[in-house]
Amino acid sequence: MSMSSEPVIGSSPAAKNGPIRVRGARLFNFLRLLAKNPLTAIGSLIVLSLIVIAIFAPWLATHDPLVQDLANALQAPGAAHWFGTDEFGRDVYSRLVYGSRITLYIVALVSVTVGPIGLMLGVVAGYYGGIVDTILMRITDIFISFPSLVLALAFVAALGPGLEHVVIAITLTAWPPIARLARAETLSLRQADFVSAVKLQGASSLRILVHHIVPLCLPSVIIRITMNMAGIILTAAGLGFLGLGAQPPDPEWGVMISAGRRYMMECWWLVTIPGLAILMNSLAFNFLGDGLRDILDPRTE
């Protein structure tokens, strides 16, 4: 009896490269959709530039951001110092470049902390309802009832100044909107037909939450977190301006504005340049969030 010479399905290189091609096509389509909106494309480029600058700060900076040169204090922007110098003769451009690391550190750490906390609490409250929902949402309402900056100031004042305490304070004020959003999404999903079918198959509540509810809530949560990043930047800069965030001589943008405000009438660059950096990056995250909402939220189609 002769053996069949037909190739085994999935053994060819084309079959092995199939998933890679599918992922590449999805990534290309995602980037194409981002580029369709000019504001979203601009926001994406600014955010990407912020990440690149933060990673390659030692190579992009022209001076040591902490070394003082009192002989060159308060120099206007020029060839030697592109964005001028501060009251201690430190290069403002180099401090701005290294400050992107601090800003990105705060944004990233808060985002990866706020997302799971808000998503977990919101999904649990929406799925179980009853007393669980009441308790979790009343706690959420207490946090939402205070302005986020005021609440962050209170937490930092209690914990003490410092970057880690800023991250904790902003996290404690940023999770309630995520939780309410996840709860609203879960309320619309828990009575869906596919959830009832999974229950009839004997799936536990934990399995339903992890494998069915959470994945459907993720797009909305990602959009909300992206749009919250602008508020995180502003809150971190505000705390730094008030002396409760990063401490001198760290080149944080809010600290730079706070130190330069005493000379702002004569040396405009000390306040204007870090202020523009905060403004541009805040707008960039808002533009990016709008673009992600148009792509990931099926209700906008």
Rounded Cα gap, residues 74 and 24, in angstroms: 50
Q: What is the pLDDT of residues 107-153, one digit of tens each?
A: 999 999 998 999 999 999 998 988 999 999 999 998 888 888 888 88
Query: Which amino acid is it at 168?
Result: I
- Domain residue spans of the chain: 36-63+79-300
Q: What is the pLDDT of residues 251-291, one digit of tens each?
A: 999 999 998 888 888 889 999 999 999 999 999 999 888 88
**DSSP 8-state code for residue 61:** -
Q: What is the pLDDT of residues 142-156, one digit of tens each?
A: 888 888 888 888 888
Rounded Cα gap, residues 36 and 279, in angstroms: 23
Whole-number pLDDT of residue 12: 52
Per-residue confidence band for 2, with pLDDT thresholds at 50, 70 and 90: very low
Query: Who has greater pLDDT, 30 or 94?
Result: 94
Whether the Cβ atoms of residue 270 and residue 263 lie closer than 8 Å to each other:
yes
Q: Which of 226, 222, 229 is nearest to 106 (CA)?
A: 229
Whole-number pLDDT of residue 1: 44
**Distances from the Cα of 95 to the Cα of 53, 57, 221, 259, 270, angstroms:** 12, 10, 33, 13, 11
- Cβ-Cβ contacts under 8 Å for 96 (sequence gap 6 or more): 83, 251, 253, 256, 273, 274, 277
Q: What is the average per-residue pLDDT within 76-83?
A: 89
pLDDT averaged over the chain?
A: 85
Would you give the distance in Å from CA 3 to the centre of its chain?
59
Q: Find the radius of gyration of the CA atoms of the chain.
A: 24
Whole-number pLDDT of residue 212: 86
Taken in order 85, 45, 236, 164, is the CA torsion positive or negative?
negative
**Distances from the Cα of 124 to the Cα of 41, 61, 129, 191, 201, angstroms:** 36, 47, 8, 14, 21
Whole-number pLDDT of residue 102: 93
Taken in order 54, 242, 249, 165, is the CA torsion positive or negative?
negative
CATH of domain 36-63+79-300: 1.10.3720.10
Residue 53, pLDDT above cutoff 50:
yes
Instruction: Read off the pTM.
Output: 0.83
Whole-number pLDDT of residue 120: 92
Classified as helix, coil or strand, 91 is strand
Residue 14, pLDDT above cutoff 60:
no
Per-residue confidence band for 38, with pLDDT thresholds at 50, 70 and 90: confident
Query: Who has greater pLDDT, 37 or 94?
Result: 94
- pLDDT > 90 fraction of the chain, expressed in percent and rounded: 34
Q: What is the average per-residue pLDDT within 222-234?
A: 89
Would you give the distance in Å from CA 125 to the centre of its chain?
24
- pLDDT > 70 fraction of the chain, expressed in percent and rounded: 88
Using the CB atoms, write b or e for 45-59: b if 16+ within 10 Å.
ebbeebeebbeebee
Rounded Cα gap, residues 45 and 61, in angstroms: 20
Residue 27, pLDDT above cutoff 80:
no
Q: What is the pLDDT of residues 154-196, one digit of tens each?
A: 888 888 888 888 999 999 888 999 999 999 989 888 888 888 8
